[in-house]
Amino acid sequence: MRLLTSLLLVPALVVPAMAQTLADRMKDSYRAWDVALDRGDSATVRRSAEALLQREALGVGTADYNQMRALVAVRDYAARACVLDGAWEDAIAYLQSAESTAAENLKISEGTFGRIRRDHEAKILEWRETIAKQEQRLKEIEAQPGLTEEHMKLRGQIRGFLDEHLAAISHSEWSLKEIDGLLSQLRKEQVTYSTSLASWQDFISREKQEMALAGTSAKFVSEKLEQVKADEARPRFDRLAYGRRLLRMDPENADCKKFVSGLIGADEDGEPPAKATKKKSKAKKK
């Protein structure tokens, strides 16, 4: 009495031996990217993320939800690097791509895992009915006043059958929880990127309105810089991103250059400030 039906939670992916996927490369890179962003190095992260997208993005299959999530994550890092660099329009473009990919991943996964979920539910129902019948048979056998060798053999087979089917039900119930958890994560990601994109689009729109009221870019930058400098409670990332944003609008603003350089502890070309070298005093000759 072998249980032949086996339901797979995720279709197996055929990957060439030693081949690295986008998710693998993402795992290799994200820690270094986090460190770089923490120290204000947006350019390195942007170059690295964009290079990875250029090499790998077109090869990501929409049927592989894990690779799609990795694609969303790399675009997220590219967007964060653009925000830190003050290139907010570019950041919005990456957010749009990330949101679109997240939405597509959710839609395809809901279809794929929806079918798998229904298969699991149908099998669980079928197995429970079968188990109920076999349990009744087992009760009838064990109710016999004396068990023959044939009865004992049949009893052992039924118990093995029940154990196997109960294990299959347990696995399917675990699979249902995994599917529900995954789809919940994908929905959360889609909502997060959709909300973030809308927020940034609104922010840029308000920035344009404020600039129009200021009259000139130089005046807008001067006024906004004072606000950013005074808002010391803001995280360093936010203040640096805003400082670089203003510097893009008015590259000649010396005060803005000084503010940005002070936040990163280096010149904007990435070189740390030169350390003063102490001159050794010559010993006086006696």
Do the domain assignments include residue 66?
yes
Q: What is the per-residue pLDDT across 109-121, written as a single tens digit (0 to 9) for each? A: 999 999 999 999 9
Q: Are residues 76 and 151 in the same domain?
A: yes
Q: Are residues 92 and 186 in the same domain?
A: yes
* Residue from 43, 101, 92, 49 nearest 72 by CA: 101
Of 159, 194, 229, which residue constitutes the final position of a domain?
Answer: 194
Do the domain assignments include residue 238?
yes
Q: What is the per-residue pLDDT across 43-74, written as a single tens digit (0 to 9) for each? A: 999 999 999 999 999 999 999 999 999 999 99
What lies within 8 Å, CB to CB, of 96 at 6+ separation is 197
pLDDT tens series, the chain, 286 aa: 232 223 333 333 333 444 688 999 999 999 999 999 999 999 999 999 999 999 999 999 999 999 999 999 999 999 999 999 999 999 999 999 999 999 999 999 999 999 999 999 999 999 999 999 999 999 998 888 888 888 889 999 999 999 999 999 999 999 999 999 999 999 999 999 999 999 999 999 999 999 999 999 999 999 999 999 999 999 999 999 999 999 999 999 999 999 999 998 854 444 444 444 444 444 444 3
Q: Are residues 54 and 174 in the same domain?
A: yes
Total count of domains within the chain: 2
What lies within 8 Å, CB to CB, of 218 at 6+ separation is 250, 253
Q: Are residues 137 and 257 in the same domain?
A: no
Structural domain including 169 reads 22-194
Do the domain assignments include residue 202?
no
Do the domain assignments include residue 82?
yes
Q: Are residues 96 and 224 in the same domain?
A: no
Q: Are residues 254 and 169 in the same domain?
A: no
* Residue from 190, 195, 189, 200 nearest 91 by CA: 200
Q: Quote the CA–CA distance of 108 and 106 in Å, as a whole number.
A: 6
Do the domain assignments include residue 8?
no
Do the domain assignments include residue 31?
yes
Do the domain assignments include residue 7?
no
pTM: 0.80
* Residue from 94, 92, 50 nearest 72 by CA: 94
Do the domain assignments include residue 209?
no
Q: Are residues 57 and 137 in the same domain?
A: yes
Q: Are residues 119 and 243 in the same domain?
A: no
Of 194, 226, 251, which residue constitutes the final position of a domain?
Answer: 194
Q: Are residues 149 and 264 in the same domain?
A: no
Tokens representing 206 are 């308000």
Q: What is the per-residue pLDDT across 199-218, written as a single tens digit (0 to 9) for each? A: 999 999 999 999 999 999 99
Q: Are residues 100 and 162 in the same domain?
A: yes
Q: Are residues 157 and 222 in the same domain?
A: no
Q: Are residues 167 and 227 in the same domain?
A: no
